[in-house]
A and B are shown apart, each in its own frame.
Chain A
Amino acid sequence: AQSVAQPEDQVNVAEGNPLTVKCTYSVSGNPYLFWYVQYPNRGLQFLLKYITGDNLVKGSYGFEAEFNKSQTSFHLKKPSALVSDSALYFCAVRDADNDMRFGAGTRLTVKP
């Protein structure tokens, strides 16, 4: 069965600095990887996904993620963080036979 891990419960960065939110995965076949963001009292919003092709995927709000097959990772990145990026971020994985499974989430706090 597929699984995903987000090793950090909390990430703190200063506004204007680059940010990274980490994600590693485990699947039996080709991975289909996703990042979602959740603002307080809201549902999840899709940010970006990796299906195939270029390992660097660009998504909404200036976010990007790098797929690394050898390290089974799919870290979320942004060159310059904004205070408004503060939210809960979820990594998710899906393989050919199963539903979408989510990591535990990482709370990102961007301080002015």
Chain B
Amino acid sequence: KAGVTQTPRYLIKTRGQQVTLSCSPISGHRSVSWYQQTPGQGLQFLFEYFSETQRNKGNFPGRFSGRQFSNSRSEMNVSTLELGDSALYLCASSLGTAITGELFFGEGSRLTVL
């Protein structure tokens, strides 16, 4: 069974640009969550989607947005990039809405903003 797939794995952007990251969850998983990981802030929750609906949202500015498609694949977008957006962006999927279920993580998309 294929795991969570994130693309691209690495990317370099300049300030002011925008970026779109993609996440394909494990087959059958309907919930997708996104996290930002930085050395200083650790893992910060961005948002969670289930059946194309955003269920929870973390404390990030409106430049960070996401969506989920009918096949459960998800994308997140960051507009007007800032140096501080440099981070590892992790996507995780789970079976459904059960809060007792563990998350399955992809290997992440490492974004560098110059």
Contacts and interface: CB of A to CB of B under 8 A. Distances in A.
B100 A99 contact: no
B33 A100 contact: yes
A41 B105 CA distance: 12
Interface residues of A, number: 23
Main secondary structure of the interface of B (DSSP, over half): strand
A104 B58 CA distance: 16
A83 interface: no
A49 interface: yes
B43 A90 contact: yes
A51 B105 CA distance: 20
Interface centre among B99, B105, B108 (most CB of A within 10 A): B99
Contacts of B55: 99
B99 A46 contact: no
Contact of B42 (A94, A96, A102): A102
A8 to B, nearest CB: 14
A103 B33 contact: no
Interface size class of B (residues with CB under 8 A): 20 to 34
A49 B100 contact: yes
Contacts of A98: 56
B26 interface: no
B102 A46 contact: yes
Interface in B32-53: 33, 35, 42-43, 45, 48
Contact of B106 (A34, A43, A46, A90): A43
A32 B107 contact: no
Interface of B: 4, 33, 35, 42-43, 45, 48, 55-56, 58, 90, 92, 99-100, 102-108
Interface of A: 32, 34, 36, 41-46, 49, 51, 90, 94-96, 98-105
